[in-house]
Amino acid sequence: MGELDPRTCAVVSAPIGLFREIQRHYVTFRDHVWRSGALGFTPVLEGQLASDWLDTRTGHKRIHYTLTGTDWLPRSQKAMLLAVSEPYADHYTVDGDIFDECTDVALTAFLAASERGDSACAEIWENWSAREGRETYAYLTLDDLITLFAVNSADSARENGTVLLPAEAGDVLVRQRHYYNRYLTRRLANPLEDAKQLVLFRNIPVSDPEALGAAMSSIQGSCSKRNLARVYSAINPGE
């Protein structure tokens, strides 16, 4: 990296999945700094106002935000943000694209200050780094994730006679992240669709045929026939 000339453009080649993960981490870090209020404005990220969609399919939102005391946004950018915003009760609203552009400008200044040793910015960065360091990522499809949980739990808990599986169909969820997908589309030429996959695993007694049958039914729409057979074999090793 030390050989890169900052005065020229660099072209980085990598699998699309790597760029997708970089973008995902950028978005999560951006949300973390937003919540801190360090950029000078904080959007509403939960509740009804956080889902003020202009177009759900494309992920286009109206952003509700409040101003904070800290401000890394240049004066001209802040004036522009306020000029295109509208008052809404005790806060402001603005088009999501404009808000993203202002965020990028403010975040660049924030990161530069952190590199220079600004204690407040560095603390926010370090808090995010510590949080990310405690997370475990599983780059698996729902099919493989559910199968590995079931097979490994059945093998390790043989004496207890339980297996980790979703208990019902509602325990397996895929939530499309329209706003993030739109952001990725604007940043990458061929972004993969982004969604949050949520699985609630429960300890299902192998001796309870009704509960076990419901659990196996709940994963039929997520697992391949091959993996369903693996799960069945793990639960019934003698058959």
Q: pLDDT of 166-204, one tens digit each?
A: 999 999 998 888 877 887 787 777 777 878 888 999 999
In this prediction, residue 203 carries a pLDDT of 93
In this prediction, residue 1 carries a pLDDT of 54
Q: Are strands 202-205 and 162-165 parallel, antiparallel or unpaired?
A: antiparallel
Does the structure show a pLDDT above 60 at 129? yes
71, 74, 80, 83: CA torsion to nearest 10? 40
- Could you tell me if 191 and 184 are in contact, meaning their C-beta atoms sit under 8 angstroms apart? yes
In this prediction, residue 86 carries a pLDDT of 96
Task: Say which residues have a Cβ less than 8 Å from residue 187's Cβ, sequence separation at least 6.
Answer: 23
Does the structure show a pLDDT above 90 at 205? yes
- Could you tell me if 102 and 73 are in contact, meaning their C-beta atoms sit under 8 angstroms apart? yes
Q: How far apart are CA 16 and CA 19, in angstroms?
A: 5
Element of type H or E holding 165 = strand 162-165
- Quote the tokens at residue 125: 């960065």
In this prediction, residue 217 carries a pLDDT of 94
Element of type H or E holding 76 = helix 75-83
Per residue in 3-56, pLDDT (tens digit) is 777 788 778 787 777 777 788 888 889 999 999 999 999 999 999 999 999 998
In this prediction, residue 72 carries a pLDDT of 81
Kindly state the average pLDDT of the residues 132-161. Answer: 83
**CA atoms within a 13 Å half-sphere pointing along the CA-CB vector of 233:** 8
Q: Residue 90: phi, psi to the nearest 5?
A: -100, 20
- Could you tell me if 63 and 28 are in contact, meaning their C-beta atoms sit under 8 angstroms apart? no
CA 203 to chain centroid, in Å, comes to 27
Q: How far apart are CA 120 and CA 54, in angstroms?
A: 35
Distances (CA, A) of 134 to 126, 128, 199, 200, 211: 13, 10, 20, 20, 33
Q: What pairs with residue 19 in β-bridges?
A: none
Q: How far apart are CA 234 and CA 239, in angstroms?
A: 10
Q: How far apart are CA 144 and CA 148, in angstroms?
A: 6
Q: How far apart are CA 203 and CA 215, in angstroms?
A: 10
In this prediction, residue 22 carries a pLDDT of 82
Going by pLDDT thresholds of 50, 70 and 90, the confidence category of residue 226 is: very high
CA 107 to chain centroid, in Å, comes to 19
CB atoms within 10 A of CB 131: 12
Task: Say which residues have a Cβ less than 8 Å from residue 190's Cβ, sequence separation at least 6.
Answer: 16
Per residue in 56-67, pLDDT (tens digit) is 888 899 999 999
In this prediction, residue 135 carries a pLDDT of 66
Per residue in 100-118, pLDDT (tens digit) is 999 999 999 999 998 898 8
